[in-house]
Amino acid sequence: MARVVLQQITKTFQNQKVVKGLNLVIPDGSFTVLVGPSGCGKSTTLRMIAGLETATDGEIFIGSQSVNALPPGKRDVAMVFQNYALYPTMNVYDNIAYGLRNRGTSKKDCDVLVKEIAEIVGLADFLKRKPSQLSGGQRQRVALARAMVKKPKVFLMDEPLSNLDAKLRNQMRVELTSLHKQLGSTFIYVTHDQVEAMTMGDQIVVMSDGNIMQVAAPMDLYQEPENLFVAQFIGSPPMNIVPAEGRSDQLWGFRPEKAVLLPASVSPVSAEEMWTAKGQIVSREILGSDTLFHVETEKGRVIVKTETEEIGQYGSNVTVTVAKPHVYIFDRVSGKKVGRLAERGQVSALAGGVN
């Protein structure tokens, strides 16, 4: 196990900076997820930690050791790739044992380690099979076992579940988080899927355009986004953003589940404590336990998430209300969160911030 520290890490490809001065501490034993849209620099960052890419500037530490000058094989990390990278002509046993044999591990020790790891990942009965005889989830477990058998300080995973179907992805998420708790090792995991990030990571690093936008625990990201990018990237559906009332320099936002949908004929209770907007339902998505109503309002289109589908149909006139403590305030230019719309008197008084 080891802590990983990035200090002012920059990566340039053909005069274009794709990673821009990252400073990041990944705690020892954490499950840290790098998440962001395609091209944001998350996979490049992971590859620099692995030693598969060289940092243009800055320094990378694994434990107390600077690893910039170390080749991948000397960094004591193991990487699991999106395409598994298994040897098709080798059986499961030999795929797992391959790295150990290259290290010169004795046949006896190798056998003990391979069978121990195969038991942990549920492959004990499949050691003689070839990768082509396995399901996608089983092949993913072989890739994990091959990494685990080296007992590295840090596990690096680059979109390892993206080739699996939705049901198997959900299953493997649970298995990976359980495996992390069992091993207690440092996991660094890259994904573009914010749901995957929220359900697996204990520390999430949100990236955009080569920069870190926020580092926080999952619910802290969701409940206290530091900027518009995080507010709209984290959450499914994302935060609603509407024009601020009486302030051209601000935008307001609220989570879909914090909004209440009322028939147009019903007046909101304590209207002075609410953000309100009249509108019309233009779409409805029934998701089982929840329903998403897309409402075109006088203040912009918003999504309302409820536990009932009985509120209205397509074309129904409605009123959307949100309690002011649930309305976030963002600076229109910088995108940074200013505070929350807790009291009406604070709207005109906002200069630097609101608590």
How far is residue 133's CA from residue 343's CA, in Å, rounded to a whole number? 63
Does residue 152 surpass a pLDDT of 70?
Answer: yes
Contact 145, 68 (CB under 8 A): no
Q: Of 49-58, 60-69, 158-167, 255-264, where does mean pLDDT reach its minimum?
A: 158-167
164: confidence class by pLDDT, cuts 50, 70, 90 = confident
Q: Mean pLDDT across the chain, nearest whole number?
A: 90
Does residue 348 surpass a pLDDT of 80?
Answer: no
Mean pLDDT value of segment 186-209:
95
Q: Of 103-117, 200-214, 324-338, where does mean pLDDT reach its minimum?
A: 103-117
Mean pLDDT value of segment 195-219:
96
Contact 318, 295 (CB under 8 A): yes
Answer yes or no: pTM beyond 0.85: yes
Distance set, CA 199 to CA 177, 217, 225 (Å): 9, 11, 17
Does residue 345 surpass a pLDDT of 70?
Answer: no
Does residue 214 surpass a pLDDT of 70?
Answer: yes
Does residue 270 surpass a pLDDT of 80?
Answer: no
For 42-61, write each residue's pLDDT tens digit. 999 999 999 999 999 999 99
- Domain definitions of the chain by residue range: 4-229, 237-349
What secondary structure does DSSP assign to 130-176, as a single string? -GGGS-HHHHHHHHHHHHHTT--SEEEEESTTTTS-HHHHHHHHHHH
Distance set, CA 168 to CA 134, 175, 327 (Å): 14, 10, 37
Spatial strand order in the sheet of 65-66: 16-26, 4-13, 57-62, 65-66
For 87-103, write each residue's pLDDT tens digit. 999 999 999 999 888 88
Class of domain 237-349: mainly beta
Question: Considering the domain 4-229, what is its CATH architecture?
Answer: 3-Layer(aba) Sandwich (3.40)
